[in-house]
Structure 1
Amino acid sequence: MTQNPTSRLPAFDAAQASPGQKAVLDEILSGPRGNLNGPFLGWIHSPELAQHAQRLGAFCRYQTGLPLRLSELAILVTAARWQAQAEWYIHYPIALRAGVPGALAEQIRMGVTPQFDEPDDALIYAFTTELYDAKRVSDATYARAVERFGHETTINLVGLLGYYALVAMTLNVFGMRAEGQTTLPFAE
């Protein structure tokens, strides 16, 4: 396992892992992610946080009740708001494969209010940006989200946004990059 040379954290050596670290590694590597790309090599230095965070992340990524396209759109908005280099780098190709139009993703990356072809995309963007900008969501946007997705999925959307903000903070604070990342989507 390699560590990004710009990371503020010490390199992690799986051969020297504690039992707690080994348990987290085993669960992550045998789960739907199958790799440690992203914040996991940061969190592994705190195995209990890593275990809770990776389980929450698995839920937020795969079980929110939102279609993958909308989850990935919300993640891209989060990555752009936090200018999280690795988060964008990892999720941009996933979002495109899930059906997020490239032009829409580029507008989000550039900080331009996108033009939407799909009402669900516009709703996810409005909900996400209101939450990040106003630290709240208006009654009107909340009502639209609940009408479209239901209470449970709307709650899960808030969880997804909180989780990926945590990911972005982790990546940014510790200067982490994605595996194989050689370009940065945001100026530093």
Structure 2
Amino acid sequence: MNPKGSENTRLPPFDRTVATPEQLAVLDEILSGPRGNLAGPFLAWIASPELAQPAQRLGAFCRYRTGLPLRLSELAILVTAVQWRAQAEWQIHYPIAIEAGLPDAVAQSLLAGRRPDFADADEALIYDFAVELYDAKRVSDAIFTQAVHRFGHETTVNLVGLLGYYALVAMTLNVFAMRKDRDAPLPFVE
């Protein structure tokens, strides 16, 4: 059941034939949902279905229903991948971000550890919000006010949830040394 490139000595192979009913329920919900695959942290989380089920549901919400356009959600995810140097998170979300309309120059600046030259004010705001939260562990009144003014209170709450969820994903991917494709070059130096 391991997707291509997910072979990993830190994760036991997942065998559907010996999975518990709880594991199968999580697996079936993930595979029948908008993701349709087990890319990302799910092969680690499936060992703990009580964690996996609410986490994957939170992830579906954070990825698809935050109120942010996909381009901005993916930017927040790439900022998170850079902050955590999460190889698989970048490998999975970089092409999604580009397809969603994030300029490649923005992504390449992130990857190089530089603040991008943003042509889009919303992208700059998402970047500033995320980086300030990760670096200072807080968001200033100025950035918070800008976010609420631009996106609304509910979407700002959802942005915080998205950043927290993808930090959990990044930690999982890093601890279990997960990659999207073991043959692809790594975006971050190990």
Q: TM-score, structure 1 length as denominator?
A: 0.97
Label 1:12 to 1:93 Cα distance change in 2 as closer, same or farther (>3 A): same
Q: How does 1:81-120 map to 2 (within 5 A)?
A: 81-120=83-122
Within 2, Cα distance between the matches of 1:95 and 1:152? 23
> Within the alignment, does 1:124 sit opposite 2:126 as a pair?
yes
Cα RMSD after superposing both structures = 1.1
User: Alpha-carbon deviation of 1:177?
Assistant: 1.1
> Within the alignment, does 1:10 sit opposite 2:12 as a pair?
yes
> Within the alignment, does 1:68 sit opposite 2:57 as a pair?
no
Match of 1:162 in 2: 164
Within 2, Cα distance between the matches of 1:147 and 1:20? 42
Worse-matched range after superposition: 53-62 or 107-116: 107-116
Within 2, Cα distance between the matches of 1:7 and 1:43? 15
Within 2, Cα distance between the matches of 1:5 and 1:58? 24
1:52-86 CA-to-partner distances (Å, cap 9, x unmatched) read 10000000000000000000000000001100000
Match of 1:138 in 2: 140
Identity of aligned residues (%): 70
Q: TM-score, structure 2 length as denominator?
A: 0.96
**Secondary structure of the corresponding residue to residue 129 of structure 1:** helix
Letter of the 1:119 counterpart: A
Within 2, Cα distance between the matches of 1:97 and 1:2? 26
User: Alpha-carbon deviation of 1:8?
Assistant: 1.0
Letter of the 1:103 counterpart: A
> Contact 1:123–1:145 at 8 Å: present in 2 too?
yes
Within 1, Cα distance between the matches of 2:169 and 2:112? 20
Worse-matched range after superposition: 44-53 or 178-187: 178-187
Gaps of 5+ in 2: none
Letter of the 1:165 counterpart: A
Match of 1:20 in 2: 22
**Secondary structure of the corresponding residue to residue 152 of structure 2:** helix
1:84-110 CA-to-partner distances (Å, cap 9, x unmatched) read 000000000000000000011010011
Letter of the 1:156 counterpart: N
Gaps of 5+ in 1: none
Within 2, Cα distance between the matches of 1:158 and 1:165? 11
Letter of the 2:77 counterpart: I
Within 2, Cα distance between the matches of 1:31 and 1:9? 23
